[in-house]
């Protein structure tokens, strides 16, 4: 657990976080946002911060999308 100093609460977000916000500004679904951020190389904690959700929610959405892809691949064979 990290200790925040009194200035960290009001500091500016990092450039990479701002770029993530810009990358997903026109996306409507969380799945689309996560897909774009994942392609750009963001980790789960950064994706959660950018999307305004939790890391557990990000992991859940990723797992659901992986299972949908595996089902689609099995159907196409």
For 33-53, the pLDDT digits (tens) are: 999 999 999 999 999 999 999
What average pLDDT does this structure show over 53-63? Answer: 96
Tokens, residue 71: 């089902």
Write b or e for each residue in 29-59: b if 16 or more Cβ atoms lie within 10 A of its Cβ, otherwise e. ebeebbbbbeeeebebebbbbbbebeeebbe
Kindly indicate the confidence band of residue 12, based on its pLDDT and cuts at 50, 70 and 90. confident
**pTM score, two decimals?**
0.73
Average pLDDT for the chain: 84
């Amino acid at each position: 657990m990290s200790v925040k100093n009194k200035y960290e609460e009001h500091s500016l977000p990092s450039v990479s976080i701002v770029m993530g916000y810009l990358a997903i500004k026109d996306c409507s679904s969380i799945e689309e946002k996560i897909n774009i951020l994942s392609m750009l190389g963001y980790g789960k904690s950064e994706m959660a911060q950018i999307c305004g959700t939790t890391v557990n929610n990000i992991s859940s959405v990723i797992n659901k999308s992986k299972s949908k892809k595996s089902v689609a691949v099995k159907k196409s064979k």
